[in-house]
Amino acid sequence: MTTTAATPAPGVRGATSEAAARVPHVVIVGAGFGGLRVARALARAPVAVTVVDQHNYHCFLPLLYQVATAGLEPQDIAYPIRAILRRYRNVAFRMARVARADLAGRTLITERGERIGYDHLVVAAGSVTHDFGNPGVAAHAFGLHDIDDARAIRNHVLRLLERAEAMADGPERAALLTLVVVGGGPTGVELAGALAEFRRHVVPRDYRHVRADDLRVLLLEGTDRILGALPERLRQAALSDLAALGVDVRLGTLVGTLDAGAVTLADGARLATHTVIWAAGVKGPPLAAALGLPPGRGGRIAVGATLAVAGHPEVQAIGDVALVAGAEQLPQVAQVAMQQGEHAARNVVRALAGEPPLPFAYRDKGTMATIGRSRAVCHLRGLDLRGRLAWWAWLVVHIVMLIGFRNRLVVLVNWAWNYVTYDRGVRAIVGAGDGRGAP
């Protein structure tokens, strides 16, 4: 069946009045930071909008590492898309996986074979973990790119600790208690810092035979710096914060191969471990190729300066999945996706009015990363912060960004609890196996 505008297939009761009026139909693929911003910006435009996502929730990715380290619940950072879009009368949601597109026919085809027609398409499909062609990564490393990743890491680490608690000292126990994070970007740094705090404050309290020192947290980075987007002074501050927390940071360290029980470095050194978390970069999702749009570096969709695809002015791509001509160096972060989302919506409105699209220009609002309790670095416009003040700035920004009042409240309760007690309240191993079962 074919869906047009925000209406369901013919025959479904309650078809909205938009169907009769036949307003243009804008389809947005992906309900991340970028996709939701497009929907919001079109909420008062004379269009019918359908947001399509494989999940029924928006995930607040910047706090994934807190789920991975048992500081927050998965659902604290996952908000139902329907609850977000409810207030926009011309925006509908469809939970589906897009399989491919008929670009000439302006139609998406879902994995179930449903057809979703569009007049304008905005692809905001995000990114996936980039293994840089290393075959061991998919088989033996954890990603940290969605809720299931985060939960798998948490359950895995908690299971390792249970095993180690009941095990005699020796190389196997040492391997169980060695956690390796690969990649010194914000994700890797925040995760390594949170693991180090978990080790310091939770492990000695809960486990009688695992000492904090027994657990090792390593952060491997191939270049000579972590948090490359920050100025030198803040990079050094982050390094010394990590060192103070006991993270073993190894710069200039490239990963060679991974197998079930170890990671082998490019220089041949071998680290026995069952826990490698791969935070070394992202690439475009498989959908980017499946749509038949022009491919760009890193599995992304190549778009022009206006965010439109060459030859298809009715198709735009934004956020992590888009490689913008002339702005190839833009970071794959929420800020870029949100600004591009606003811009894509503006270009849709201009097209409806018969006006040509405008080129996108990024306004950098700054970068921040938290390393631990009262330890963070912020690089804002003309303002560099570190330490406690930066941490509070980080906290406020992230709570304000969290969508949904209830989530803010629950996150606040959890953070306040952690702050007062140095505890992690969320440690139950719930959910199916992580697929990389503890040895």
User: Which positions are annotated as active-site residues?
Assistant: 190
Q: Tokens at residue 240, please?
A: 């010394």
Full 3-state SS string of the chain: CEECCCCCCCCCCCCCHHHHHCCCEEEEECCCHHHHHHHHHCCCCCCEEEEEECCCEEECHHHHHHHHCCCCCHHHCEEEHHHHHCCCCCEEEEECCEEEEECCCCEEEECCCCEEECCEEEECCCCEECCCCCHHHHHHEECCCCHHHHHHHHHHHHHHHHHHHCCCCCHHHHHHCEEEEECCCHHHHHHHHHHHHHHHHCHHHHCCCCCHHHCEEEEECCCCCCCCCCCHHHHHHHHHHHHHCCCEEECCCCEEEEECCEEEECCCCEEECCEEEECCCEECCHHHHHCCCCEEHHHEEEECCCCEECCEEEEEECHHHEEECCCCCCCCCHHHHHHHHHHHHHHHHHHHCCCCCCCCCCCCCEEEEEEECCEEEEEECCEEEEHHHHHHHHHHHHHHHCCCHHHHHHHHHHHHHHHHHCCCCCCCCCCCCCCCCCC
Contact 9, 1 (CB under 8 A): yes
Contact 386, 377 (CB under 8 A): yes
Contact 300, 323 (CB under 8 A): yes
Q: Of 253 and 414, which has the nearer Cβ to a second copy? A: 414
Q: How far is the CB of 291 from a second copy (least distance, A)?
A: 21
Q: Of 76 and 241, which has the nearer Cβ to a second copy? A: 76
Residues that bind a second copy (CB under 8 A): 1, 3, 8-16, 55-57, 73-75, 78-80, 82-83, 86, 92, 94-96, 114, 147-148, 151, 158-159, 162, 165-170, 205-209, 211, 404, 406-407, 409-410, 413-414, 417, 423, 425-432
Q: Of 35 and 74, which has the nearer Cβ to a second copy? A: 74
Q: Tokens at residue 29, please?
A: 């693929």
Contact 194, 72 (CB under 8 A): no
Q: Of 147 and 263, which has the nearer Cβ to a second copy? A: 147
Taking the C-alpha atoms of residue 304 and residue 348, their distance in angstroms, rounded to an integer, is 15
Distances 13 to 8, 144, 350 between C-alpha atoms, Å? 9, 41, 33
Q: Of 85 and 217, which has the nearer Cβ to a second copy? A: 85
Q: Of 327 and 401, which has the nearer Cβ to a second copy? A: 401
Q: How far is the CB of 339 from a second copy (least distance, A)?
A: 26
Q: Of 356 and 437, which has the nearer Cβ to a second copy? A: 437
Single-letter code of the amino acid located at 388: R
Q: Of 269 and 416, which has the nearer Cβ to a second copy? A: 416
Q: Of 222 and 261, which has the nearer Cβ to a second copy? A: 261
Partners of 103 in the β-ladder: none
